[in-house]
Amino acid sequence: SQQGEEDPQALSIQEGENATMNCSYKTSINNLQWYRQNSGRGLVHLILIRSNEREKHSGRLRVTLDTSKKSSSLLITASRAADTASYFCATVFSGGYNKLIFGAGTRLAVHP
């Protein structure tokens, strides 16, 4: 079974708008990572946030982590058509080895 759940399952927006995706998980984590997948191909690592961090930025990406609520969010600002993809959160358990537990993903469509 999968650790996390992403919300929403699908998101459709216009270019220039912001996109927010949420992820919830069930157990204590070492870190949480966000990945992007285009058209059912390989995953691309976007950002890693550790359990002792609350917010992290990378370019147009902003990730927050709330360990008390066991949840994270990914914000993509000023979205572009090229951001169209599936986005997955993945968790690494505390004290565990480097095994990623993925959620089911959010499918983002950005329309020109």
Partner 1 sequence: ETGVTQSPTHLIKTRGQQVTLRCSSQSGHNTVSWYQQALGQGPQFIFQYYREEENGRGNFPPRFSGLQFPNYSSELNVNALELDDSALYLCASSPSIAGGREQYFGPGTRLTVT
Q: Does 53 bind partner 1 (CB under 8 A)?
A: no
- Which 88-107 residues touch partner 1, going by CB under 8 A? 88, 90, 92-93, 95-105
Contacts 24+ apart (CB under 8 A), 46-53: 46/74, 46/87, 47/74, 51/94
21 binds partner 1 (CB under 8 A): no
The β-bridge partners of 19 are: 76
Nearest to 32 by CA among 18, 12, 52, 13: 52
Is 84 an interacting residue with respect to partner 1 (CB under 8 A)?
Answer: no
For the bound state, the minimum distance from the C-beta of residue 11 to partner 1, rounded and expressed in Å, comes to 15
Cβ-count burial 86-101 (b if 16+ within 10 Å, e if not)? bbbbbbbbeeeeeebb
With binding defined as CB under 8 A, does residue 31 bind partner 1? yes
Query: Considering the rule CB under 8 A, would residue 42 count as an interface residue with partner 1?
Result: yes
Provide the binding-site residues for partner 1, judged by CB under 8 A: 2, 30-31, 33, 35, 40-45, 48, 50, 88, 90, 92-93, 95-105
